[in-house]
Chains A and B, each alone.
Chain A
Amino acid sequence: MTGVCFYFQVHQPFRLKKYSVFNIGNTSDYFDHQKNREVMEKVAKKCYLPTNRLMLNLIHKHPEFKIAYSITGTALEQFEQYAPNVLDSFEELAKTGNVEFLNETYHHSLSYLYSKKEFVEQVNLHKKAIKRNFKQTPTVFRNTELIFNNELANFVEQLGYKGIIAEGADHILGWRSPNFVYKAKTTNNMKLLLKNYKLSDDIAFRFGNKTWEQHPLTAEKYAAWLSAIQGHSVNLFMDYETFGEHQWEHTGIFSFMNNLPKQLLKHPHLKFMHPSELATIDPVDEVDMHSFVSWADVERDLTAWLGNEMQKAAMHELYQFEEKIKNAKNSKLLEDWRKLTTSDHFYYMCTKWFNDGDVHKYFNPYDTPYDSYLAFMNILNDMAVRLKRANNPSINTPVLLTEKPSLVLS
């Protein structure tokens, strides 16, 4: 038997306003509510609602069909605020028993790289949110953007997870296949579930590309490719927005997905599996990922978020606030600060314009990476003012603009 394991990533950040220097000390509403609502309503209409309906129908039609989701906390909150019917439809999917939910950081953050303490808190927040909404306690973990290395696998194992998702990057696997379950090096028995990026990208990136030699991709053809694979499982991991948003409806992506389970089930040795089931398989080998790997861009590294000076400075400065924010015991401040940890804010600051740069630009709410950095730093300056005022409400704190706002506090 070979498994077919679908996991879809669902995420929306709280996008920031074009927060100006002149807002510092005057307004502490950092989020672009209108933009966030617009995006949510658009994606709900084009992707979440029709795709959830499709998945539900498929489960009713084929009781063997199984899928998994990882839905970030910031997406869940925005469903509640702007599109409660989307949340309802995910809950309905959860009730079928054919849908598994994974854990990650609530805020889709890079906190693991900067603060293990914050990382654990965000993972626990997410765990609670998944439990509350979908009545499940996940055993498989996925870190933001599939950022992974040995040390992280070990740390996450300590938190009690059995399996972890990672990119099946060629430079790590070498001759080995991503279609087997491995053990992550330095862990006791942490199962590594690797994305088959070629087959995943055939759907996520190439599906609608008319210049691709395999276009048009039919469910029959795709099922035949999968049936030829030897191994434990083919792991098809992708953004959920692939359906209807990255691949528009006219490409035929919905009818492809509608037909796919039926075609796959024609091959009797193929079987839908959940990530948690894969995590019970005995590993064939150990995989050593010493350096960080991600699923982003051609580089599969961290440069999309931490590739330039601005990104590093902004991230470093953000985490300088952590202790002071937590000591302030002000839940609104903490919540705002956490929303700033979302990786998207740093992605928008990416200056790797050429090649994959185009992808970055497409999803960037700012005109340039510089605009996003500027807004972010202005917000940190305001946060410093707020903290000072919170600690000492009686004094009128002057607004000082600095590139190290956290120092203003010490």
Chain B
Amino acid sequence: MKVLMFGWEFPPVYSGGLGTACYGLTKALAKKGVEITFVMPQGPLDIKGDFVNLLIANNLAITNITIKKVASLLSPYSGSEDYYQRYQKIMQTKGNAEAALYGYNLHHEVYRFSEIAKLIAESEDFDVIHCHDWMTFPAGINAKQIKNKPLIVHIHATEFDRTGGNGVNQYVYDLEKTGMQLADMVIANSHHTKHLIINHYGIPPEKITVIHNAVDFSDGNFQQFRIRKEDKLVLFLGRITLQKGPDYFIEAAKMVLEKDPDVKFIVVGSGDMEAAMIQRAAQLGIGSKVLFAGFLKGEERDRIYKMADVYVMPSVSEPFGITPLEAMVRNTPTIISKQSGVSEVLRNCLKVDFWDVEELANKILGVLTYRHMHNELTILGYHEVLQFSWDFPADKCIELYDKFGGRT
């Protein structure tokens, strides 16, 4: 089976869950003998040198994957404004001539990427096309038209998740909808996502297969130690955007601190609501208790997960949500919103409706106070997360490949 896949980010480039999911799934598929041509946009400022190929060739020893990088300014979480800033930066640092290589706005860049996809599709041999999220859909549609091969679109997040339903971008919505309509099959990464697709995009339920994400911690080395500290720490880690619910985190912090002043709240990440959140904490008189740590990666990220007594993911809308699993494998109990895909598959964690600030505060206080619950969540959560594997989602993808792209 040969798959032409349009995806995102391989390590060490990392900006969120989409890249992690693409990487985990692709690796598991390749291990099972699926041959993948993985096409991904890569900007000139994202990484230096050819580290991706090097890493894959030398360290991970993955066969069956051919990486094709397309010079592009697309990034999995960019909006129009963000794109404009990147474009400006290229103009400033590399000059107008280089900037001219890229689309002058996000729409144009998505279009340009889809034109390059035609060339790739013509030169490649494949049985099925698998696309991850909307920016790659026009590329997938073009590839389908060139070779008349089945198209599977994989939805990791919809425009409704990203915007919380407020200010849905019509252009993005249209591309998502067209992609799903023209696809032979739609993969949703949770039932949460499936419901959104049915209700907001009018895609018939029978055309949607739910394949939950996974994580692969089998080759990770998680030293099990806790970091000593005076105060109890409650962690938020994610983009500080409407979708992730940072405002509910701050409001809950206020309620917790009224009962227990010896608690610190750490917000890790950046995003368009950061300034507003800092202001809100100050306004509530808890500015000294809520610390904004900025974006962290690698060891720092690892360390903050371990330091935390509890990790909170209060997302308003979370198609899946990989961060609770990252926290749990580091022995940190988690509280997640019921409006997340991961809550469909996770047992040993606490769950709240994101809007129920009082209940969130109740659970934060509970997990900080009742050591036995903290221990139980830690131990059972750790073991539960270790059982996750990309093998199962990969098998379900292969079933779909066989069904739609099977050679006769």
A49 at interface, CB cutoff 8 A:
no
Complex: how many Å from CA A22 to CA B258? 10
Q: Tell me the B330-387 residues at the A interface (CB within 8 Å).
A: 347-348, 350-351, 358-359, 361-363, 365-366, 369-373, 375-377, 380
Q: Are B376 and A351 in contact (CB under 8 A)?
A: yes
Which residue in B351, B372, B376 is a CB contact (below 8 Å) of A403? B372
Find residues 15-45 in chain A having any chain B CB closer than 8 Å to their own CB.
Answer: 18, 20-22
Please, which residues of chain B bring their CB within 8 A of the CB of A402? 369
- Asked if A309 lies at the interface with its beta carbon under 8 angstroms from chain B, I say yes
Q: Using CB atoms, name the residue of chain B closest to A20.
A: B362
**Which residue of the partner chain B has the closest CB to A316?**
B372
User: How many cross-chain pairs have Cβ atoms below 8 Å apart between A and B?
Assistant: 65
Q: Is A151 part of the contact surface with B, judged by Cβ < 8 Å?
A: no
Say whether A370 contacts B377, CB under 8 Å.
yes
A18 proximity list for chain B (CB < 8 A): 359
Q: Is A212 an interface residue (CB 8 A)?
A: no
CB contacts (< 8 Å) of B255 on chain A: these are 22
Q: 16 A-B contacts, Cβ less than 8 Å apart?
A: A20-B362, A21-B361, A21-B366, A22-B361, A308-B376, A313-B372, A351-B348, A368-B351, A370-B350, A370-B376, A373-B372, A373-B373, A374-B366, A377-B366, A378-B362, A403-B372
Interface flag for B396 (CB, 8 Å): no
Complex Cα gap A353–B347 (Å):
9
Cβ-based interface call for A310 (8 A): yes
Contacts A21-B366, A373-B370 known; list 15 others, CB within 8 Å: A22-B255, A22-B358, A308-B376, A309-B375, A309-B376, A310-B376, A351-B376, A367-B351, A370-B376, A374-B363, A377-B369, A377-B373, A401-B259, A401-B365, A403-B370
Interface mask (A384-410 → B, CB under 8 Å = 1, otherwise 0): 000000000000000101110000000
In the bound complex, CA of A399 to CA of B365 (Å): 13
Question: Are B359 and A20 in touch, CB under 8 angstroms?
Answer: yes
Chain A residue at smallest Cβ distance from B359: A20
Identity of the chain B residue whose Cβ is nearest the Cβ of A309 in the assembled complex:
B372
A314 CA to B372 CA in the complex, in Å? 9
Most buried by A among B359, B373, B375: B373
| Residues in B neighbouring A77, C-beta threshold 8 A | none
Per-residue 0/1 for A56-83: is the Cβ within 8 Å of any B Cβ (1 yes, 0 no)? 0000000000000000000000000000
The residue on A at minimum CB distance from B256 is: A21
Contacts of B375 in A (CB 8 A): 309
In the complex, B115 has a CB within 8 A of chain A: no
Instruction: Give a binary string over A357-380; 1 marks a CB under 8 Å from any B CB, 0 the rest.
Output: 000000000011011011001100
**1/0 contact string of A97-112 vs chain B (CB within 8 Å):** 0000000000000000
Scoring B347, B362, B372 by chain A CB atoms within 10 A of each residue's CB, the highest score goes to B372
Residues A290-344 near B (CB distance < 8 A): 308-310, 312-314
Identify which of A21, A368, A399, A403 contacts B362 (C-beta below 8 A): A21
Interface string of B249-284 (1 = CB under 8 A from A): 000000100011000000000000000000000000
A370 touches B361 (CB 8 A): no
CA distance A371 to B377 in the complex (A): 12
Point out the residue from A20, A22, A374, A399 that lies within 8 Å of B373, measured CB to CB. A374
Report yes or no: A370 in contact with B373, Cβ–Cβ below 8 A.
Answer: yes
Cβ contacts under 8 Å, B377 to chain A = 370
Q: Give the residue of A313, A314, A378, A399 whose beta carbon is less than 8 angstroms from that of B366.
A: A378
Chain A residues positioned under 8 Å from B363 (CB to CB): 374
Task: For the complex, give the distance between the alpha carbons of A378 and B259 in Å.
Answer: 13
A binding-site residues for B, Cβ under 8 Å = 18, 20-22, 308-310, 312-314, 351, 353, 367-368, 370-371, 373-374, 377-378, 399, 401-403
> Which chain A residue has the least Cβ–Cβ distance from B375?
A309
Residue of B nearest to A354 (CB): B347
Instruction: Report the interface size for chain B: residues with CB under 8 A from the other chain.
Output: 23
Interfacial residues of chain B within 156-203, with CB under 8 A of chain A in the complex? none
Which residues 292-349 in B have Cβ within 8 Å of A in the complex? 347-348
Cα of A71 to Cα of B380 in the assembled complex, Å: 36
A314–B371 Cα gap in the complex (Å)?
11
- CB pair A21–B371 under 8 Å, yes or no, is no
User: What B residues does A371 contact at CB under 8 A?
Assistant: 350
Point out the residues of chain A lying under 8 angstroms from B350, CB to CB. Answer: 368, 370-371, 374
Query: Does B362 lie within 8 Å of A374, measured CB to CB?
Result: yes
| Nearest A residue to B363, CB-CB | A374
Which residues on the B side are within 8 Å of A312 (C-beta)? 372
Question: Inside 8 A of A401's CB, which chain B residues have their CB?
Answer: 259-260, 365, 369
Distance in angstroms from B23 CB to nearest chain A CB is 30
Q: Please give, as numbers and ranges, the residues of chain B lying within 8 Å of A373 by CB-CB distance.
A: 370, 372-373
A229: shortest Cβ distance to chain B, in Å? 42
CA distance A308 to B365 in the complex (A): 21
Set of chain B residues within 8 Å of A370, measured between Cβ atoms: 348, 350, 373, 376-377
* Chain B minimum-CB-distance residue to A23: B362
Taking CB atoms, residues of chain A closer than 8 Å to B347 are 353, 368
Inter-chain contact B358/A20, CB cutoff 8 Å: yes
Evaluate contact between A310 and B372: CB separation under 8 angstroms: yes
Smallest CB separation, B320 vs chain A (Å): 19
Within the complex, what minimum Cβ distance (angstroms) separates A354 from chain B? 10
Tell me the complex Cα distance, A20–B348, Å: 20
Q: What 6 pairs between A and B have smallest CB-CB spacing?
A: A313-B372, A20-B362, A374-B366, A309-B372, A21-B362, A310-B372
- Closest CB of chain B to A172's CB: distance in Å? 30
Report the bound CA distance from A21 to B359 in whole Å. 9
Contacts of A378 in B (CB 8 A): 362, 366
Determine whether the beta carbon of B359 is less than 8 Å from that of A403. no
Say how far A342's CB is from chain B's closest CB, in angstroms.
20
Instruction: Provide the bound-state CA to CA distance between A169 and B348, in Å.
Output: 32
Q: With A351-B348, A353-B347, A377-B370 given, is the CB distance from A21 to B365 under 8 Å?
A: yes
Give the distance in Å from the alpha carbon of A78 to the alpha carbon of B377 in the complex: 34
Contact A374 B370 (CB under 8 A): yes
Q: Which of A18, A351, A374, A399 has the most CB of B within 10 A?
A: A374
